[in-house]
Amino acid sequence: MSVPAELGYTNEHEWVAVKDGVATIGITAYAAEALGDIVYLEPPEVGATVAAGDTCGEVESTKSVSDIYSPVNGEVIDVNRAAVDEPEVIGTDPFGQGWLFKVELADEPADLLTPEQYTQLTEGEG
């Protein structure tokens, strides 16, 4: 399983990439694989304020519906419309073209897992 070293992770299987005060957020390959064929994405609205740990959207697959939790505090400034229109990209390229939304950070992200910690978490669930 792919766990890119430059990202932070959450216990809920989201990934976070921070650059210049903006966090790009998606779900991990582990989560995408567990979901199976992703058929629907409901991201947060642009302009919405999100808080770390709060539900802010959902991903639906042929197997189940899973909540998306914000791993950061801030304002949603962009949503991946390509992933809304073609949600299968979330499963085929979760760390690239399958990103979900971007947040202008209100503060530095706290409590993110390192790639090593995330790998241990997923091995414990597997």
Tens digits of residue pLDDT in 32-86: 999 999 999 999 999 999 999 999 999 999 999 999 999 999 999 999 999 999 9
The pTM score is: 0.95
Mean of the per-residue pLDDT values of the chain:
96
- Does residue 2 fall inside a structural domain? no
Q: How many domains does the chain have?
A: 1
- Does residue 125 fall inside a structural domain? no
Residue 126 has pLDDT above 90, yes or no: no
Phi, psi of 88 (to 5 degrees): -60, -20
Segments forming the whole domain that contains residue 48: 8-107
The CATH number linked to 101 is 2.40.50.100
pLDDT at 109: 92
- Does residue 36 fall inside a structural domain? yes
- Does residue 116 fall inside a structural domain? no
- Does residue 88 fall inside a structural domain? yes
pLDDT level of residue 125 (50, 70, 90 thresholds): confident
First CA to last CA distance, the chain: 11
- Does residue 124 fall inside a structural domain? no
Whether the CA torsion 115, 121, 125, 126 is positive or negative: it is positive
